[in-house]
Chain A
Amino acid sequence: QKEVEQNSGPLSVPEGAIASLNCTYSDRGSQSFFWYRQYSGKSPELIMFIYSNGDKEDGRFTAQLNKASQYVSLLIRDSQPSDSATYLCATGGGFGAGTTVTVRA
């Protein structure tokens, strides 16, 4: 299984702020990168995928990929209490341990 590391967290941000999640991976051959959101007691759900270097935006979410640095990040803008969850980074079938985000109202 490929090694994927995430910033350990937990991360607490005030409502309306930007939450920044980071992930590094060890397999330089990885081609696809994913962010999943997992609410407590529920299964992970896909929120973003990215294949190319640069930024990809989807609503309040922006994924950033830098293959040279083997780094992928997720920004959540205008954070809402409903964004409180654990976020999992994944590549080629390997998952990070997750970062728990709490948005304070």
Chain B
Amino acid sequence: SQTIHQWPATLVQPVGSPLSLECTVEGTSNPNLYWYRQAAGRGLQLLFYSVGIGQISSEVPQNLSASRPQDRQFILSSKKLLLSDSGFYLCACTTVGFEQETQYFGPGTRLLVL
């Protein structure tokens, strides 16, 4: 079964600073990968998804970007953070096969922008 790693676990950043969050997946090949953000007490907001290396689809226009330099690596970035970027960032993947729509989540990165 797949394992999703995310780091860092927590991050406190000043407004206007850059951001790089990394997600790596083990135990599966050619996964679909997703970045979600969850504001405090709110639901999941899909930010980006990727079906392969270099293929990124954006769901929400914002100051964030994503990249997929390797099959099992997904990176979320920003050049200048906003206060509204604070939240819980979750990486997810879907497995190959019959249950391919099942999403599994990493442990998340909690970001606080001050």
Residues of B within 8 A of A94 (CB): 46
| A1 x B46 contact (CB < 8 A) | yes
Interface size, B (range) = 10 to 19
Assembled-state Cα–Cα distance A95/B90 (Å): 13
Q: Mark B71-114, 1 if CB is under 8 A from A, else 0.
A: 00000000000000000001000100001011111111010000
Number of A-B contacts defined by CB within 8 Å: 43
Interface size, A (range) = 20 to 34
Residues of A within 8 A of B110 (CB): 41
Residues of A within 8 A of B108 (CB): 42-43
25 pairs, CB–CB < 8 Å, chain A vs chain B = A1-B46, A32-B101, A34-B101, A34-B102, A34-B103, A41-B110, A43-B90, A43-B107, A44-B90, A44-B105, A46-B102, A46-B103, A46-B104, A49-B99, A49-B102, A88-B43, A93-B34, A93-B46, A93-B101, A93-B103, A94-B46, A96-B43, A97-B42, A97-B43, A98-B43
Can you name 15 extra interface pairs (CB under 8 A) apart from A32-B102, A93-B34?
A: A1-B46, A34-B101, A42-B108, A43-B90, A43-B105, A43-B106, A43-B107, A44-B105, A49-B102, A88-B43, A90-B103, A94-B46, A95-B43, A95-B44, A97-B43
